[in-house]
Amino acid sequence: MITTTRDTDIREMTTFGLPAECGILIEYTSPSDLPALFAEGALNNILPLGGGSNLLFTTGRFAGTVVHCADRTITFGQPGADGIVEVEAAAGVVLDELCALTCGKGLWGLENLSGIPGEIGGAAVQNVGAYGTEFKDVVAKVHCFDTVSGEYLTLDNAACRYGYRDSVFKHLDQPNTLLVVGVTLHLTTLPSPSLGYAALAARFAGASPSTLTPGMLREAILTLRDGKLPAPSQAGSAGSFFKNPVINADSYDKLQRKLNKPVPGHVLPTGDVKLSAAWLIDNAGCKTFVAGGARVWQQQPLVLVNADGNATGADIVALENAIRTVVQEQFGISLEPEVIHIWA
């Protein structure tokens, strides 16, 4: 079934809670609805919308067509001899609800992504990640609809070209012409806790993997998130606003010599070093920055918030630009936003 409305207020469909309106809002309940919807080629300037947890509507109005999947179907396969369980999830499934469900079934793979807002379709596009795990780690296939050819496509993990908060879906010749309609995930019944994140390693120090459950890690991660990130009732946000910048080893050494102090960094398999954007923002003195109704969240400077519920997209952009300017001036590092900006 397809539902269409015009000039629709979609503020409540985003986590920032900023003024947001679209020219046309289309919601579909089954991928089989899509061929007829795009058959005549009448729709253009399309924006797929999941949970709206990674979008910034900068002007308050998007004149184009927002497409939202209302399909929340989940199916579970039987465990194979290797412990792998195939899970099919529609694009409209809420990611954290799937995390809770799979942890409750004792399946490993999604537990470190607990608490991340948004829906499965957006997770597949953004390659969301937290606490040492990325969505790509469990993706076997991504099922799509090509709005140009009218065909259904299935991309395996390699074809998705996943990177840090990146995927092939962000680099299409014609933006947003591949709509994610669902994913196939490979989870496992075999104990496989990911404890690379320091706080998790400390929390479960000395514990044998066989004594842990996905639910135990989920509970620990939700506690960590609650200590750093605002609840929606406290302030609207899009979670981590900036990507952690990656620089080469030589630049990292030069930065530490310039500052004459250690700079937190994680050495990647390539030899490059991933820096903490939160540390850069904090040490640049940006934690107190305010722009209109927008400010930096004190418990986690990587997060920009709609502090009083009255911020605008322009306020967030002004705050973002102020932070990027100071970090560039002080450290010679350009911060790249993780949040997708919608300009018109």
The single residue of 27, 119, 134, 338 carrying the catalytic annotation is 338
Catalytic site residue from 53, 167, 237, 240:
240
Quick check: is 240 catalytic? yes
Inter-helix orientation angle 95-104/214-228, to 10°: 150
Separate counts of helices (H) and strands (E) for the chain: 8, 20
Of the residues 114, 119, 165, 324, only one is catalytic, namely 165
CA dihedral 72, 77, 79, 82 (to 10 degrees): -90
**Cα 223 to the center of its chain, rounded Å:** 19
| Helix or strand holding residue 25 (H, E) | strand 21-28
| Catalytic residue status for 257 | no
Give the residue among 180, 83, 200, 57 at the shortest CA–CA distance from 128.
180
Tell me the two tokens of residue 74: 């989940």
Q: Which helix (H) or strand (E) segment is 270 a member of?
A: none
Q: Write 167-175 long-range contacts (CB < 8 A, 24+).
A: 167/124, 167/125, 167/126, 167/127, 167/136, 169/124, 169/125, 170/125, 174/148
**Nearest 5°: phi and psi at 29?**
-105, -10
Give the active site residues: 165, 240, 338
